[in-house]
Amino acid sequence: MTTEILWWIFAVAIVAVSAGVVFARTVIHSAIFLILSLAGVGAMYLFLTIEFIALVQFLIYGGAVTVLILLALMLTRMGVAGRPEPTTGVQAPFGALVAAGLMATLIGVAVATAWPGDPGGNAVAVSIKTIGEQMFQHYGAPFMITAALLLVAFIGAIVIARQEDDD
């Protein structure tokens, strides 16, 4: 019962802050709402008893990715406080179209798929040991390929960002 009430509180809060991401008047406020929204989704994972994914969500999305977004905004837009800037342009209708399409696809997939390991609609607790074994043994190759991809992206970012005097 308590869990259900908490679930609804979090659900409403996530929808509210997500609306905040879209309707905030400055990009900085949007980014801050985005952090709250992603942290709320992390709390949702707790209700589904997948603590590991919830903590990864806090660590990666709450603590790192959105902070990098904020950092980039801070470095590129000085003195934004109090001065609203346009967050929509000619691309707004196309953005709305893409968002609506993505939402329709995701809802369709979520409803239409018969999810394994979900008998009777009850969430099954997955231990970190299972996740680790699956990731490094069963899905070892995709894991390594993702790692290589990230490494390439990392080196590329360094090469682009590095300012040499002589070139």
Give every CB contact of residue 29 below 8 A, 6+ residues apart in sequence: 20
Under DSSP, the state recorded for 162 is -
Q: At residue 112, what is the residue type?
A: A
Nearer to other proteins, 11 or 70 (CB): 70
CA distances from 121 to 12, 50, 66, 131 (A): 22, 15, 32, 21
Q: What would the x/- binding string for other proteins be over residues 35 to 54, using CB under 8 A?
A: x---x------x--x-xx--
Spatial CA neighbour of 124 closest among 53, 46, 49: 49
User: Measured from the CB of residue 88, what is the shortest distance to other proteins in angstroms?
Assistant: 20
Q: What's the min distance (Å) between Cβ of 74 and other proteins?
A: 6
Q: Indicate which single residue of 1, 2, 4, 137 sits in contact with other proteins (rule: CB under 8 A).
A: 2
Count of beta carbons in the 10 Å neighbourhood of residue 17: 19
Judged by CB under 8 A, the chain residues 107 through 166 that form the site for other proteins are 125, 127-128, 163
Binding footprint of other proteins on the chain (CB under 8 A): 2, 28-29, 32, 35, 39, 46, 49, 51-52, 55-56, 58-59, 62-64, 66-68, 70-71, 74-75, 78-82, 125, 127-128, 163
